[in-house]
Homo-oligomer: A and B are copies of this chain.
Amino acid sequence: MDSRNIRLAVIPGDGIGTEVVAEGLKVLEAVGTKLEPTHYDLGAARYHRTGETLPDAVLEELRGYDAILLGAVGDPSVPPGVLERDLLLRLRFAFDHYVNLRPVKLFPGVPTPLAGSSADDIDMIVVREGTEGLYAGTGGVMRRGTPHEIATQESLNTAHGVERVVRYAFEKARSRPRKKLTLVHKTNVLTYAGDLWQRTVDRVAGEYPEVTTDYTHIDAASMFFVSRPERFDVVVTDNLFGDIITDLGAAIAGGIGLAASGNINPERTAPSMFEPVHGSAPDIAGQGKADPTATILSVAMLLDHLGLHAEAARVEQAVAADIAERRSGRSTHEIGDDITARVSG
């Protein structure tokens, strides 16, 4: 089998998801893969038509692919949480995407909103845990709608779940020039979970003497992302803190239009899933205004994950070159075409 043969499940999803995914696929073909894409119409439209978010049979079918490319999920016409929980989070959980990998990297030529920072200062990778914590969805409500209502949410953290993502983060840190790993948590308030995370990092650190580790509270880390982003190389953190800090990371690295992510199953017992960090942005959907770059960079991560390192590098370089000569006012298609041309050329 030619390893450039990719059996790809495509979930464009909602809003701008469809638009950006189309450009991602263009680039995937242009870079020389033999693509066998199958589209799945999961998202708000299907939910309204059939009441289904992710039928079990579809979930099992998806399991057979090499990888999944996802656009974005979520629509104001659907109650908050339904598509997020039953589609996006269900996929992350079912396919054990315990590493949610989110580079925060300022490409040369991209204006950062930070006055004092340049591309050298903003180059980190956030390793966000993807299957536990407050995303477990446990909790409940009692006496809803009365003055005595109580609503709870539970953060579930296991030794198994924390250790595997921490190990992944140490491996990442070891492979980078600075070899630095920062745990971000809130150990002084979330004492049970924080203690598990901190002990795990301390223990695994013994196996990685070449990696420097430190710790920062999530509140201080949010401050440092803005005031001293150069402090960070690899960041490991839980699901919710990782969610927050990677949007902040996107902001300092030139905007959500450029932020890529991979939901990785490192043992490859199920397909990994690649998606832009941004959401479905219903306010600009259908207008050709969305920047597909985040999706195209997610495609580069997908290629890398499948072992197509040269192809991944070509896509990244094409994006970097496009960004360096960035002209404003281009449509979604035009940006996609420009990057595709560089990849093929």
| A residues adjacent to B (C-beta < 8 A) | 74, 80-81, 84-85, 89, 111-116, 134-135, 137, 139-141, 143, 145-160, 163, 186-196, 198-199, 218-220, 222-227, 240, 243-248, 250-252, 255-256, 279
A251 to B153, CA, bound (A): 29
Question: Which one of B153, B193, B195 contacts A190 once the chains associate, using CB atoms below 8 Å?
Answer: B153
Q: Are B248 and A226 in contact (CB under 8 A)?
A: yes
Q: Are B140 and A192 in contact (CB under 8 A)?
A: yes
Q: Taking CB as reference atom, which chain B residue is nearest A243?
A: B219
Q: Taking CB as reference atom, which chain B residue is nearest A203?
A: B145
A244 to B147, CA, bound (A): 28
Note all chain B residues with C-beta closer than 8 A to A156: 150, 152
Note all chain B residues with C-beta closer than 8 A to A186: 240, 243
- The interface centre, meaning the residue of A80, A143, A224, A246 with most chain B CB atoms within 10 A of its CB, is A80
Known: A80-B188, A80-B195, A150-B156. 14 other contacts (CB 8 A): A85-B188, A85-B189, A89-B189, A113-B226, A114-B114, A139-B193, A148-B160, A149-B159, A151-B158, A155-B155, A218-B244, A222-B245, A223-B247, A226-B226
Min C-beta distance of A121 to chain B, whole Å: 11
Q: Are B80 and A223 in contact (CB under 8 A)?
A: no
Question: Which one of B192, B195, B223 contacts A251 once the chains associate, using CB atoms below 8 Å?
Answer: B223
Min C-beta distance of A287 to chain B, whole Å: 19
Q: Are B155 and A150 in contact (CB under 8 A)?
A: no
Q: Are A223 and B199 in contact (CB under 8 A)?
A: no
A77 to B149, CA, bound (A): 40
Q: Taking CB as reference atom, which chain B residue is nearest A198?
A: B80
- As for how many copies of this chain the complex holds, the number is 2
Min C-beta distance of A316 to chain B, whole Å: 23
Q: Taking CB as reference atom, which chain B residue is nearest A84?
A: B188
Q: Are A222 and B248 in contact (CB under 8 A)?
A: yes
Question: Which one of B85, B112, B155, B227 contacts A152 once the chains associate, using CB atoms below 8 Å?
Answer: B155
Question: Which one of B74, B153, B255 contacts A154 once the chains associate, using CB atoms below 8 Å?
Answer: B153
Min C-beta distance of A300 to chain B, whole Å: 22
A320 to B31, CA, bound (A): 57
Q: Are B158 and A150 in contact (CB under 8 A)?
A: yes
Note all chain B residues with C-beta closer than 8 A to A115: 111-115
Q: Are B84 and A189 in contact (CB under 8 A)?
A: yes
Question: Which one of B85, B111, B246 contacts A191 once the chains associate, using CB atoms below 8 Å?
Answer: B85
- The interface centre, meaning the residue of A137, A188, A224, A225 with most chain B CB atoms within 10 A of its CB, is A188
A198 to B243, CA, bound (A): 20
- The interface centre, meaning the residue of A115, A152, A243 with most chain B CB atoms within 10 A of its CB, is A152
Note all chain B residues with C-beta closer than 8 A to A245: 222
Q: Taking CB as reference atom, which chain B residue is nearest A250?
A: B223
A249 to B195, CA, bound (A): 27
Q: Are A191 and B137 in contact (CB under 8 A)?
A: yes
Q: Taking CB as reference atom, which chain B residue is nearest A155?
A: B153
